[in-house]
Structure 1
Amino acid sequence: MNRQELRKGPLRFLLVFSFYTNMRKIFNINNNESPEVISCLHGIRVLSMVWVVWGHSYLFQSLASVNILGIGRLTDDLGEQTIPGGFFAVDTFFFISGLLVVYGLLREYQRTRRINWIMYYVHRIIRLTPPILIMAASMATLSRLILVGPLAAGVDRTFVQHCRDHWWVDVLYLSNAVYPPCLGQCWYTAVDTQLYIVAPIVLIPLVYRRKIGVVLLAVVTLISMMIPMIINGVLQLVPNIMFGTIDHEPKADINTYDKPWIRATPYIVGMWTGLILHKMRTKKITLRPWQVGVGWVLSTVVGLLVVYGMVDYNTLYQPTPVPLAVGVVYEGFVRGSWAVVVGWVVFACHKGYAGPINSFLAHPCWQPLSRLTFALYLTAMSFQVIFPGLIYVPFYSSHLNMFISTCGTLFIAGLLAVPLSLMTEGPVLGLEKLLLRREGRGEQAEEKKTDQPS
């Protein structure tokens, strides 16, 4: 029996669990360029994940640091603002989510002249839930087998016990509402899913009544910028990426960090970008050299100001107090500004105005790592959480040691991410394709879809 016969017979339901087949899909590199695929997103996703893991190294491994009282000095200088700047890498992921939701739906409607809104939600749940459930179960059980160091009991009482008691919080995407969750990183999937749930309020008009949808999206954009400003002004908080929040309300992060109405702006900017790219997908955009230059200069300046502009206030020890007006304006515009910068990079890369930058971000070598980003997101922070419980001797925190630790975390988390993806993402997407195929999506369309980040 040949492969084609196997694919058509009942054994096709078993083939979706094939480690060999799914491994080939993960590590497949497609060198064929397509105007429908936003290739630069592969590199952006991978680099953003590295930035997040690097920042988390300073956060979690300080718990096992011999110089814990002086570790704050590692983030005080101008160049060191890159470390807390990892907060904005998370906003990059929100931006990508909003972009792909709009871009994907408009492409589907263009092909089929209809949208299956039930599958819109079903695909989301079956895509994300299995790997989260397996990771939560592993943290609640298997992690106890390797906790052997002097700090093991403390890690077990907190993080591991949280998974035994509250594993359901992450599975139901409530990690930003019910505390403490099992997997701390799942506050992101909770926020992203909550935004995804309400997105059709704007998506439906964008698909069927474009002009009404654009007006509604503009209104929602303004509201998303005003809400953080109002919350910060009323509660008199400093921006939540500032270390100075330790001198203010203890629950500041609960009000200003992990709520969907706080994180909506980059998601919405991503929706604008997806709309623009779809509208211009078949058009040749001609920009004059000075226009391209202005775009890159402005985006570079704004990006640098976002990451490094608050250095005088963003220190752990004796920070300069943030004036309320400065904090309010910064909180209202900072995430949207960062998303606009990323949006320009994506637009310029996709339309041929990025030169070597696009060659780097869209290089095919990023594709396998990009497909593993979600699994890596689940495994990396989980490893960093239990790491203090694995070691016997505290280590000295320095930039070099943190760099080495980050590289080690990425390597180990990557080894764990591959089987997690093979057990969940590949089989689930394969079964969805067999059982819940959407009209108008042939083999060629499905194959192209696998090359685009989702």
Structure 2
Amino acid sequence: MESKDYVERKFNADAGFVIAVLVFGAILLLCLIATLRGALLKLSGILSNMTNDYRASQLGNDFNLQEQIDKEPTGNIRKKDSLPVRMLMCFDFYANITKILSIPNSASVDQLSVLNGMRVMSLGWVIICHLILVQLGVMDNTVYAIERSSNMLFQTLANAFASVDTFFVMSGCLVMLGTLRALDKFKDSGSPNGSFKFWVMFYLHRLIRLWPALLLTILFVAGIYPNLAPLFYSPFFQNDLPTASLAYLCKGTRWMSTGFFYNNWINNPDYACVGWSWYISNDVQFYIISPIFIVLARTSWIASVGATGICILVNTIIVLLASGLEDVPPSDNGLPIIALALQDSALFDDQSSWYIKTYFSFYCRFQAYGVGLILGLAIYEKEKIARILNRFVYSARLSLISFVWFIGFVAGIVNIYGCYFWANGYPMGAWAVAFYNSTMRLLWGIFISVIVLMSSMGYGGLIDKILGARFWIPFARVNYTTYVIHFVLLELYVQTIETVVHFTTIEYTLIACGMLMCINCVSIVVSCIIEAPFIQLEKVLLGGKK
């Protein structure tokens, strides 16, 4: 298959482009000024210390060197500076990248370091899956690539969408655990469930955390991205087609469903502005209702677990009925069974409506988040759990822990490879398929919860050492930025190639490794310019999340 002829595209400086240039130009200017000022402060500090060393050698005990050093700034944001200056220094690029790349010598168990590796590996799983999805449109052997989906290796790749539930579990866990620990400070006050200010900050902090990277990505996609086309020879660059252009989907008021976190409720979230951000919308909606379960946990952990369990059960029943009555295939999103769907187009058509209804919906995605809430409560009460375990003799305790690990791994394997036999031509009954569809996310949530809980209690072993390794930390810190921008970079890659792609396993593997490294490195830079400054601004203006 030959590539298309080159199509000349003209530069279009519309209002969106002008606004984007002004906004990004202002941010880069702030970064430049703040970085230069930070460098001058460090230089003056070095010169001052050199002078102090000389004076100390001349004056001996009459000069207090430590007292003089204590007067020097310990960071780029100094309390003695005015508020505008402290706000400016939030954009110090060197200070921000130093913080992101710094690796602590050790981490306490309470920090759940296992989540660092889990974050990076899960998002990497998403990226390599999205890579093949964007490549499908420019392949010259698409049928061959789709036929490969029936083998075991491809089933692992195709079920990368289970990693979305990993993030839901982690999110629910951290919200429950972090908030319960924060509310412990109110135990001796007249409001043990937190003050009004506490809950205002609970929501405000979330918006400050999510909005900068998301909204600026939307601005880049709508304003800058279309004007990258004239820079490349590629015939694949699309900037004005409704179903093929990232920019078109963010024009006008289309961006609002993403910016205000409801793009998972529109007719087809696949065609929403920055459509991959449907996860963020679901997460925000879960976050909004999470105080119900948190406050219940303060009163009675049984009530909290019971309420969460009821919501999980309702979620399960909805998916069970929708899947069984519509006779849909056994799949989270259709990708793990596309090899069989290739021979049966009607199957793919039937799957599409179910995919839209249950893959993105708030009421069909609570299972993993609910498991995460229960996990967070379990970690909060892990000392009680440890005391119960210690009542058993060593052999019985070891058997119980081994059994929990076994259950967790079985749950994970069933989730990932539940479609394998069906995709290779072995039939399943409609309600057997429905049962799988309605429990697969719950099973994955159990798998992830077992890893996190066992690691937090000291029973993680080799898995804890791998996932909790310190080299994951810098990439875990920019995980949110990586998620928000990764698909833009993948689209930019596939729309700027000048010839079609010929799929082979080796070539795909090499490209995937390169894209993973490239995207993570770009994310560190972008986070230093966008995400980190706004996190610092929150601390300067509001004192951070209390």
Cross-structure match for 1:257: 359
Task: Report the Cα distance in structure 1 between the residues aligned to 2:544 and 2:528, rounded to whole angstroms.
Answer: 23
Q: What do the CA deviations read for 1:72-129 (whole angstroms, capped 9, x no partner)?
A: 1221112321011201111101110110010011110113445311111111111101
Q: Which runs of no fewer than 5 residues in structure 2 stay unpaired? A: 1-70, 188-192, 342-346
Q: Secondary structure at the match of 2:164?
A: helix
Aligned counterpart in structure 2 of residue 159 of structure 1, from 226, 246, 255: 246
| One of 343, 347, 356 as aligned partner of 2:449 | 343
CA offsets 1:199-243 (integer angstroms, 9 cap, x no match): 222222123444432322222222222221122223332343343
Q: In structure 2, which of residues 516, 520, 526 is the aligned counterpart of residue 420 of structure 1?
A: 526
Q: Which residue number corresponds to residue 333 of structure 2? A: 241
**2:498 is the counterpart of 1:392:** yes
Match of 2:12 in 1: none
Letter in 2 for 1:126: I
Contact 2:475 2:524 in 1 (8 A): no
CA shift in 2, pair 1:164/1:321, >3 Å: farther
* Cα distance in 1, alignment partners of residues 494 and 106 from structure 2: 44
Of 53, 56, 61, 2:127 maps to 53
The correspondence for 1:325, drawn from 413, 431, 439, is: 431
Q: 1:154 to 1:171 in 2, by over 3 A?
A: closer
Distance 1:79 1:406 in 2: 15
What is the alpha-carbon distance in structure 1 between the residues aligned to residue 278 and residue 450 of structure 2? 27
Could you say which residue in structure 2 is the equivalent of 1:294?
Answer: 403
Larger mean Cα displacement after TM superposition, 27-36 or 243-252: 243-252
Work out the CA distance in 2 between the residues paired with 1:211 and 1:72. 47
- 1:56: how far off? 1.1
1:17 pairs with 2:123:
no
From 261, 264, 281, the equivalent of 1:176 is 264
Which has the higher relative contact order, 1 or 2, with Cα contacts under 8 A spaced 6 or more apart?
1
For residues 112 and 383 of structure 2, what CA distance do their matches in structure 1 show?
11
Q: Secondary structure at the match of 2:423?
A: coil
Shifted more, 191-200 versus 235-244: the winner is 235-244
- SS in structure 2 opposite 1:240? coil
Query: What's the TM-score once normalised by structure 1's chain length?
Result: 0.90
Larger C-alpha radius of gyration, 1 or 2? 2
- How far off its partner does 1:168 sit? 2.2
Q: How does 1:204-283 map to 2 (within 5 A)?
A: 204-238=295-329, 239-242=331-334, 243=337, 244=341, 246-281=348-383, 283=386
Structure 1's unaligned 5+ residue stretches are 442-454
Distance 2:202 2:518 in 1: 34
Q: Size of the alignment, in residue pairs? A: 437
Higher mean C-alpha deviation, range 284-293 or range 59-68: 284-293
Kindly provide the amino acid, as one letter, of the partner of residue 227 in structure 1.
I
Moved over 6 A (4+): none
**Residue of structure 1 in register with 2:488 after alignment:** 382
In the alignment, the residues of structure 2 paired with residue 402 and residue 281 of structure 1 have an alpha-carbon distance, to the nearest angstrom, of 47
| Local SS of the residue matching 1:182 | coil
Do the aligned residues in 1 keep the contact of 2:226 with 2:239 (CA within 8 Å)? no
TM-score by length of 2: 0.75
Identify the residue that residue 2 of structure 1 maps to in structure 2: 72
Report SS of the residue matched to 2:246: helix
1:98 matched to which residue of 2? 172
Shift of 1:360: 0.9
One-letter code aligned to 1:77: N
Instruction: Tell which deviates more after alignment, 186-195 or 111-120.
Output: 111-120
Aligned counterpart, 2:116:
42
Contact 1:380 1:409 in 2 (8 A): no
- SS in structure 2 of the partner of residue 31 of structure 1: coil
State the secondary structure of the residue aligned to 1:313.
helix
Which residue of structure 1 aligns with residue 479 of structure 2?
373
- Give the 3-state SS of the residue equivalent to 2:110 in structure 1: coil
Aligned amino acid, residue 12 of structure 1:
R
Partner of 1:118: 200
Stretch of structure 1 that moved more, 140-149 or 352-361: 140-149
Residue 426 of structure 1 aligns to a residue whose secondary structure is helix
Does 328-337 or 284-293 show the bigger shift?
284-293
Structure 1 residue 309 corresponds to structure 2 residue 401: no
Taking a change above 3 Å as real, the CA distance of residues 34 and 241 of structure 1, as seen in their structure-2 partners, is same
Aligned CA-pair RMSD: 2.2
* % identical equivalent positions: 25
- Given that residues 144 and 156 in structure 1 are in contact (C-alpha distance below 8 angstroms), is that contact kept between their aligned partners in structure 2? no
| In structure 2, C-alpha distance between the alignment counterparts of 1:37 and 1:386, rounded to whole Å | 36
Distance 2:208 2:239 in 1: 34
Cα pair 2:333 2:355 within 8 Å, conserved: no
Letter in 1 for 2:213: P
Q: Is the 8 A contact 1:170 1:181 kept in 2?
A: yes
Query: Which one-letter code corresponds to 1:374 in the other structure?
Result: Y
Q: Which amino acid in structure 2 is aligned with residue 386 of structure 1?
A: L
Q: CA deviation at 1:275?
A: 0.3
Give 1:302 deviation, angstroms. 2.3
